Amino acid sequence: MYNGEELTIYFCQNCYDNNEPKGNGDPKNMQYIRGYIGGWGHGLSKCPYCQQDIVDLNFTHDDFIAIRTASNYNRQFLDAMIKLHDEDIIAYETKMAELRVKAKELESIKQEERKTKCPKCGCTEFTPLRKKWRLLTGFATNKVELVCNNCGYKMQPK
């Protein structure tokens, strides 16, 4: 939402046909969004890039992002979900409930991966190693160490 208004997705056939992905950064994302215009409120009638007529898909920006995240930028899956949205809203909402959960889980994993880096080599891939006994006391413990997959450095999880 932006200023209390839910953002919607539009489709520009001209940008899609001319293979003109709009946006910055990841080429995978650029191909995924080709022809789609997101992050606008309702009422847009012309493409901000090519000035051609566009179609308001009545498809939320949040769902667009959730599908992108959950499907790993699968354009065919996005197109199928938009078609399902138009043809069977109940089946669409059922599937979206699953995808929203999956997208949140994947986003949480990505955020966690970004946080944990090996202080020795900067690697972000670790293997959790469960400590079963505490040497000093001989008592069982439920502590976990992270072992860097690159250099073997051991550290406590954050």
Instruction: Report pLDDT digits (tens) over 55-109.
Output: 998 888 899 989 988 888 898 999 999 999 999 999 999 999 999 999 899 888 8
Alpha carbon distance 104, 114 (integer Å)? 15
Q: Which of 3-7, 16-20, 82-86 has the highest mean pLDDT?
A: 82-86
Q: At what angle do helices 89-115 and 61-71 cross, to 10 degrees?
A: 60
Q: How confident is the model at residue 138 (pLDDT cuts 50, 70, 90)?
A: low
| pLDDT for residue 25 | 63
Contact assessment for residue 15 and residue 7, using Cβ atoms and an 8 Å cutoff: no
Residue type, 11: F
pLDDT-derived band at 54, boundaries 50, 70, 90: very high
- Residue 126 pairs with which residues in a beta bridge? 148
Per-domain residue ranges of the chain: 1-109, 116-158
Instruction: Please report the pLDDT score of residue 1 as a whole number.
Output: 44
Per-residue CA distances from 21 to 14, 15, 28, 59, 114 (Å)? 11, 7, 10, 19, 27
Residue at token pair 């999880």? 157
Dihedrals phi, psi of 62, to nearest 5 degrees: -60, -40
On whether the CB atoms of residues 59 and 23 are closer than 8 A, the answer is no
| Model confidence pTM above 0.85 | no
Over residues 139-154, the pLDDT tens digits come to: 556 678 889 999 999 9
In single-letter form, the type of residue at position 73 comes to Y
Mean pLDDT rounded to a whole number for the chain: 83
